[in-house]
Structures are given as C-alpha cells and as structure tokens.
Structure 1
Amino acid sequence: MTAFCLRPWRKTDAVSLVCYADDPGIAANLRDVFPSPYTRPDADNFIRDCLEREGRDQLSRTVVIGGQAVGCITVTRGQDVYRRCGELGYWLGRPFWGRGVMTAAVRQICREAFAAFDLVRIQAEVYAPNKASQVVLEKAGFALEGVRHRGIYKNGQLLDSCLYALLKEEQA
C-alpha cells in the first residue's frame, strides 16, 4: 500500500486539488455538484466550505501523498431523524488507484466520525458500474444493503446505485 495521511484541508491545497480533481473519470462517479472541468475557483470554494463546516456537521479530510492533496474523503452527519447516521463520500486521484489507499482511508475516517458525532451508522451510495469503489467499501467492512434500480441520472444515462452501510459495532 502507498503511504498516505489524512488531514484537514488547508487553503494551500488548492493547486494540487485542481491537478488531481480535474479528471472526467473521477467526476463520472460523483454527483453533479462535483464540477468537470475542475478549476481553481472550484477548489477555493470547496476548501472554504470544508473549513467552515468542519466538526459541526462533517469531517472532511484531504488524502495526502508525497506532500500533495491527491483526494478527498468526507463523512457528513445526517439531519433530523438521520442525525445518528453519516454519509461517506470520497475520491482519489487516478495515479493512486488500486494501491489500497482508499480502503485504509475509509477505515480511518469512519473511526473518527463514529467518535466525533456519536453515529451508529455510516452509509455510502456507489454507482453500480463503479466496481472498484464497491470493493473499497467491502474491504473496509461495509455491507451491501440494496440496489436502487435506475435511481441515478448521470451523463445522459440512467444507472443503478448500490447502498452500502457500516454499523458502529461492526467496524474493523
């Protein structure tokens, strides 16, 4: 596995964030709120939002390899009746795919989020064609709870999505 660390975002991460986030292959597996192309103003706005929300309703970390911000992983606490549930989202720069980084990062952020927000459940929704992300979640201890057939409209296509969850008592 490639050595990495997770740390809170810094304003100075914007340059490397643009370098790794500006990839249509990454945007294809994320919600439309993730811009493509990904520009410097997008990075500045994203980092500002992360810093403002940190600890209140989310934990957002950059994945750092070789001193550069090469990805992102976030757990956002649910609201109202979902306040004991968190939603996990992540992406990693293409040069680091398949090296075990994201599986380890998912385990780490989930431990932090369970402690920080008194959560009992963390869930993640993955587009069905994204098999690599499904493997990441399964290796990190998440269980597939169901498939939402034709529940996603992305890039002109209707896609299935897979709902995964990790319960606090089941975490590794």
Structure 2
Amino acid sequence: MPDAARWDAVRLDGAGFVLRRWRADDLDVLLRHADDPAVVRGLSHRFPTPYTRADGEAFLAGRVVDFNDPVFAIEVDGAACGGIGARPGVGERAHSAELGYWLGQAHWGRGLMTRAVGLYTAWVFDALRLHRLQATVLDFNTGSARVLDKNGFLDEGRMRHAVIKDGRLFDLRLFARTRALD
C-alpha cells in the first residue's frame, strides 16, 4: 500500500492556481466552500449537505477519503477552494483510476476547473503509471461534462438510473481518457 507521505511534497503550479496536499489549517475555507447546496448537488454521498465542522474535520483527518491516494486541494490566492483526486483501481483494474473533483461556486465560470483537471490528469497518469483515468458525472451536470470533454475525456456512455440523490433517480455519464500504448 502506498505511503500517504509520498504525496506531501507534491505541488503542481497551474495558471492562477496550485494543486497541493490538504492541510489542517484549510478547515475554515473548506467549510466556506463545501457548505453550499449548489456545490454538493453534483457530488457523491461522501460530500454531505449541510457540510458541518465535524464533516470537515473528518475529511481532513482522512476518514472520508484515503489520503494514501493523490488527493489535493485546489488553492487560489493562498486559500483552498476545491479539491481533486484519483482513486486507483485494484487487482485487474490497477492500471486505472477514478477521477473526482469539486470547486467552490465563487470560482465557477472562469475555466479554473478545466485547467486544474488538465494539469492533474497529465501528472497523475505518470505518478500512478495509469493507462486509463475515468470519471462519472450526474446527467444534469453539464459543466462537469464540459470540463472532461475539454481535457480529452471521451463520453463512453450512460448508466441509466445509477444514482439516487435527494430521493430522485439520475443517470450517470461515464467519461474516460486513456494513455496511448507504445
């Protein structure tokens, strides 16, 4: 199993943002951006609403996601405002990973997530020696689908009625990007 400390020194500098490890002192800005129903609307159940201090503390302590995986904060102007990470597959799927990301609403509409996904994707393919990176998007989340499309992910199809969120059934769209084989 990988050692979470191996990601501690990673810092990816992008155009107007930085990708870096989450820190305990990110709690207040995490709460500010994560406790927003518009943000949570397109995310999995691991991202609760309302997003409480206890939720933020559990996340930063590694009880929600596995910090052995490359899970990073998106930082703008010195403060975390979103997150991005990949969960590696195991066994016969160890050559692939699932991408996830979110961004505080105050930063939407500026191309920031498109740039962050582009930078992270290029890095994580090499860091984890991946051949496939995939992401699922709730069918109504057209902004997230555009981010993936702009970064060379192909829409591989729709999983009908795959998710129940807020008592309603939703389809999931599956996107993936693969590494060309030599």
TM-score normalised to structure 2 length:
0.86
Q: Does 1:35 pair with 2:77?
A: no
1:141 is aligned to: 152
How far the C-alpha of 1:72 sits from its partner, in A, is 0.4
> C-alpha distance in 1, partners of 2:39/2:15?
19
Q: Is the CA contact (8 Å cut-off) linking 1:2 and 1:99 kept in structure 2?
A: no
Residue identity matched to 1:79: V
SS at match of 1:151: strand
1:61 is aligned to: 72
Q: Is the CA contact (8 Å cut-off) linking 1:2 and 1:100 kept in structure 2?
A: no
Mean CA deviation greater in 87-96 or 149-158: 149-158
Q: Is the CA contact (8 Å cut-off) linking 1:16 and 1:70 kept in structure 2?
A: yes
After superposition, the C-alpha distances for 1:31-73 in whole angstroms (9 at most, x for unaligned) are 11211111122112112218x944x4x1111011121110000
Q: Does 1:16 pair with 2:29?
A: yes
> C-alpha distance in 1, partners of 2:46/2:172?
17
Residue identity matched to 1:83: A
Residue identity matched to 2:29: S
Q: Is the CA contact (8 Å cut-off) linking 1:127 and 1:159 kept in structure 2?
A: yes
Residue identity matched to 2:30: L
Q: What is the RMSD of the two structures over their aligned residues, measured on CA atoms?
A: 2.0
Q: Is the CA contact (8 Å cut-off) linking 2:164 and 2:170 kept in structure 1?
A: yes
1:164 is aligned to: 175
Q: Extract unaligned runs of 5+ from structure 2.
A: 1-13
1:84 is aligned to: 95
How far the C-alpha of 1:14 sits from its partner, in A, is 0.8
After superposition, the C-alpha distances for 1:79-117 in whole angstroms (9 at most, x for unaligned) are 122111100001000011111111111111112211111
Higher helix share: 1
Residue identity matched to 1:112: W
TM-score normalised to structure 1 length:
0.91
Identity %: 37
Q: Is the CA contact (8 Å cut-off) linking 1:126 and 1:161 kept in structure 2?
A: yes
| TM superposition outliers: structure 1 runs of 4+ over 3 Å | none
Q: Is the CA contact (8 Å cut-off) linking 1:75 and 1:110 kept in structure 2?
A: no
Residue identity matched to 2:56: A
> C-alpha distance in 2, partners of 1:95/1:127?
21
> C-alpha distance in 2, partners of 1:128/1:39?
27
SS at match of 2:144: helix
